[in-house]
Amino acid sequence: MIDAQVRTESGEIVLRGSCGLDWTETVGRVDEEHFPFLGSLLPHADTIFNSRQAVRLRREVGDQSVREIIGQESAAEIERLCLHVENGSHLYLWFLGD
């Protein structure tokens, strides 16, 4: 399971995601060539996005084919967390693999 959090530069958790992504059922099925940011998530490691990268990730999860794979609820949550990073200062979006 991959969970998401918004953190400060020092690692303080600002916001926690409420729904995790199952690697084999969702993210592992995303085409990395067409969706490089979402496709870069790792099942057993952490992946961190800065505010500029969060913009690109948010665009990717807005694609209907991605929403069908990861689910509307997960896509909406990722968009919400990305917007929080984009509108904040010195914030990062963390995806935490098992």
Model confidence at 24, in pLDDT bands (50, 70, 90)?
Answer: confident
- The domain containing residue 60 runs over which residues? 3-96
Task: Give the global pTM.
Answer: 0.93
CATH number for the domain spanning 65: value is 3.40.1760
Digit-coded pLDDT (tens) for 52-98: 999 999 999 999 999 999 999 999 999 999 999 999 999 999 999 98
* Helical packing angle, 51-61 and 72-87, nearest 10°: 160
Question: What's the structural domain count of the chain?
Answer: 1
Q: Which residues contact 85 (CB under 8 A, 6 or more apart)?
A: 6, 49, 50, 51, 54, 91, 92, 93
